[in-house]
Amino acid sequence: MTEILSVQSPVENKGDKKLRFLFAIFVIVLLAIFLWGLFWIFTASGESPIGLGWFLFSFAAGLSMIVLPCTLPLVFVIVPLSMGKGYVKGFSVALAFGLGVAMTLSVYGILAAILGKAIFSLGGAGGSIELVKGIFYVLAGLFSILFALSELGLIKFRLPSYMGAAPAFIQNRKDILKAFMLGLFLGNIGVGCPHPATPIILGQIAITGDIFYGWLLFFVHALGRVIPLLLLAVFGILGVNATKGLLKHKDSIARATAWAMVFVGAFLFTLGAFSHDWWVASGQHTLLEQITQEQYFTSILSERLQVSAPHKHGLEEIEGKTGPGGLPLWLGNWIFVFLMVIPLWWYLWQERKRLDTFAESDRPLKLVLFRQRRWVILLLTILLGLIFIYLLPQKFLSQAGEKDEHEKLMISNSGSVSLHTDPTFIEVGVPVKLLFSLRDEKGKPLQGLQISHERLLHVIIISEDFQVFAHIHTEDLGLITQEMIRDAVLPIGFTFPKTGRYLVLINYLHQDHEGKEQFILDVGDRGQSVISKDLSRVKLFGDEAFRYTVSLDTGTEPLQVNKKIILKYNIEKDGLPVKDLQPYLGGAMHLTIVDVGFTTPMHIHGEIHDPATGMVIHEFSGSERFGPDIEAQVVFPYPGIYQIFGEFKHEGKVVVTSFMVEVGKGENQEIPMKMPHSH
């Protein structure tokens, strides 16, 4: 018998080594997925349709949940469950537990879809979207605060968590089934995690109202949450217990994260109760932008999710705004501070009660420590109130006021412009008259308007998905009348072809000073905006009779902010270079450049390099001809995604081109408020 065992032992060892090798490969694969997901969610840009983009975002966000205290406790369940059972069974147990967690979490996707469908049936889509987002932010905030208070021992109620034991009907099952049922039992841990992606994902599900989509999207998110757990479980199966270091400092980590979650929960609750406008008015948004250069990352996120997010935050955007319940935005600052400091004083009150439980000899020292903590909490309360109720809001008002004043100066020294629409409510397919009223500093009709590029007023209209572009003028309606000049009210006619948000950009000339202004118009019930990333540099434009091949060369170096970029256009027709291009509105080419969110629109003009003289020609008469190459110079003020609309004229027809570029952050970046009109 001994001889038989001695013969079989090497075979068993060889099998163990093979399984160990396979598990090591599996660890590498899981680790690669985990690192890829973290890299993708913060840096990478996706070119997929919005449907797949949401699934990738949901999955990657799930991977990042492992660092939060409301998901981390599952590590101390799955690792002990899977260790000591051998490779195959140990992994099966871990997989069963993870599947149970994922299935329970996916139910919340179904609930989100049902809730969204119910809310959307009550009213317009625009208000419902904000309402759904607000509800999930409030719920996430409440769960976070409750979790934090329970971790700090201030309340006895505890959210579902692993307490070292499970119901008897689970304990009595076999290992794999027991692990699966335990995963189902604990799967809703982390639903209230203060991760920004959670309300975004649930909000997206609610907007669609699709139950199957909701289940699948959140199931994919749950799989992302489970993969790091499986990774640590496999480490444990291989004999590398990754939880030892965490267990050693488990209590300290729990207390620190609990206090951090008090802040996060207070923020999420206030954000949901008082809306995004409160965040802007509170000054926290501006501070965060300055510290993190948020616009850069917001542009990346908007691009990856393929939705546009307007990002203009000035006094005009929040003036007169209130929270969803009609509450003033300033009240949100008090609520936010109140939610943060109450747990501090609650904790101090509990400490005071504990003084009576100590022996007489220990009380003097404990009383000194208590008084020190009381002073610390008092000073912290004053500091939080000073920062979030007074300093940050005042800083926002000051900076926003300076920005608005700066933008007014950039428009011109002539005064202001207002826009009125007739009819007031704009519908798709219904002709609309846009009335631009120009006023001087005294509020009187602006006199002394001049012709600029062959027109009195240039109006450019762009949809937020970049699919609609129009360059129109008052002259398109007919002759400019003396009444228009006297009243300085210039009309434009346009029919909006689709619902959504539009940028309306105007340019005019007054006493040799260029004026410009921009407006935002919502047409119909604004829904989800879809922007497809397309960085191709050769495209076809025009109609069947006039089809042009246009290429755009931006150089070999990556585009960066605050650097002069040369845009080089080459225009061909039927495979031949077009050398008889005509001037369009006095220029070789008109270009309008818009970033995602309409933050800094720019209008520039093309130029021609005369090969004979080497001179650069900016302006043209109607009889001149040129081509096929046109250049333009631009300096991008912000990193992010930009759409470049170009207009050239050939054989009496105006052809509109459209290219997308991606601009990275440069060295020593200084972000200007606005870009002036340039050539």
Give the type of residue at 45. S
> Predicted confidence band at 217 (pLDDT cuts at 50, 70, 90)?
confident
pLDDT in tens, 83-131: 666 677 778 888 888 888 788 778 778 877 887 666 544 333 344 445 6
Region for residue 414 given its phi and psi (left: phi exceeds 0; alpha: psi -120 to 50; beta: otherwise): alpha
Which element (helix H / strand E) includes 605? strand 602-605
pLDDT band at residue 136 under the 50/70/90 scheme = low
- Between these two residues, 349 and 416, which has the higher pLDDT value? 349
User: What domains can you pick out in the chain, each with its CATH number?
Assistant: 17-248 (no CATH), 259-411 (no CATH), 416-523 (2.60.40.1940), 538-663 (2.60.40.10)
Burial (CB count <10 Å: 0-12, 13-18, 19+), residue 308: buried
pLDDT value at position 472?
A: 92
Alpha-carbon span 380 to 124, nearest angstrom: 43
Query: Residue 619's beta-bridge partner residues?
Result: 587
pLDDT of residue 300: 45
Residue 586 DSSP class = T
Query: What's phi and psi for 461, nearest 5 deg?
Result: -120, 125
pLDDT tens for residues 449-471? 888 888 889 999 999 889 999 99
Calculate mean pLDDT across residues 610-629.
Answer: 75
Give the span between the Cα atoms of 58 and 223, in whole angstroms: 9
72 or 295, which is more confident: 72
The residue among 616 and 7 whose pLDDT is bigger is 616
Task: Say if CB 631 and CB 609 are below 8 A apart.
Answer: yes
Average the pLDDT over each of 208-222, 241-255, 434-448 and give the range with the smallest value.
Answer: 241-255
Strands 640-650 and 653-663: antiparallel
Query: Using 50, 70 and 90 to split pLDDT, how confident is the model at 528?
Result: low
CA distances from 43 to 47, 58, 293, 415, 461 (A): 13, 15, 14, 43, 31
Instruction: Report the pLDDT value the prediction gives residue 1, as an integer from 0 to 100.
Output: 37
The mean per-residue pLDDT over the stretch 35-58 comes to 60
Q: Determine what percent of the chain is predicted with pLDDT higher than 70.
A: 66
Give the pLDDT band (50/70/90) at residue 425. Answer: confident
DSSP alpha helix (H) spans, 43-173 = 50-64, 75-82, 87-120, 125-151, 168-171
Q: CA nearest 619: which of 630, 607, 631?
A: 607
Instruction: Please provide the DSSP assignment of 641-670 as one string.
Output: EEEEEEEEEETTEEEEEEEEEEEB--TT--
Let me know if 626 is exposed, middle or buried by CB neighbors in 10 A (0-12, 13-18, 19+): buried
pLDDT of residue 192: 47
Q: What is the pLDDT of residue 407?
A: 43
Please check the confidence at residue 536 and state whether its pLDDT lies above 70.
yes
Query: Mean of the pLDDT values across residues 126-145?
Result: 63
In the chain, what is the straight-line distance between the N-terminal and C-terminal CA atoms, in Å?
94
Rounded to two decimals, the pTM is: 0.44
Model confidence pLDDT, tens digit, residues 471-487: 999 888 777 888 888 88
Eight-class DSSP state of 548: E
Q: Per-residue confidence at 612, pLDDT binned at 50, 70, 90?
A: low
Q: Predicted confidence band at 310 (pLDDT cuts at 50, 70, 90)?
A: very low
Dihedral sign of CA atoms 110, 116, 122, 124 in order: negative
pLDDT of residue 127: 43
Where is average pLDDT lowest: 127-136, 550-559, 667-676? 667-676
Q: What DSSP line would sit under 195-234, residue for residue?
A: -THHHHHHHHHHHHT-HHHHHHHHHHHHHHHHHHHHHHHH
pLDDT digits (tens, 9 = 90+) for 343-353: 999 988 988 88
Q: Is the pLDDT of residue 62 over 60?
A: yes
Whole-number Å distance between alpha carbons of 156 and 626: 80
Q: What confidence score (pLDDT) does residue 548 get?
A: 94
Query: DSSP for 285-352?
Result: HHHHHHHH-HHHHHHHHHHHHT-------SHHHHTT-B-TTS-BHHHHHHHHHHHHHHHHHHHHHHHH
Which pLDDT band holds residue 538 (cuts at 50, 70, 90)? Answer: very high
Query: Are 100 and 180 within 8 A, CB to CB?
Result: yes
Residue type, 633: Q
Q: What pLDDT score does 670 carry?
A: 45
Tell me how far apart the alpha carbons of residues 405 and 376 are, in angstroms, rounded to a whole number: 41
Cβ contacts of 147 within 8 Å, gap of 6 or more:
69, 70, 159, 192, 258, 261, 265
Query: How is residue 79 written in tokens?
Result: 């690792």
Q: What is the pLDDT of residues 392-404, one digit of tens each?
A: 888 877 766 555 4
* Chain mean pLDDT for the chain: 74
| pLDDT value at 530 more than 80 | no
- The per-residue b/e assignment along 440-478, b for 16 or more CB within 10 angstroms, e otherwise, is beeeebbeebeebbebbbbbbbbbbbbeebbbbbbeeee
Q: How far apart are CA 544 and CA 83, in angstroms?
A: 68
Say which residue, 132 or 649, is predicted with more confidence. 649
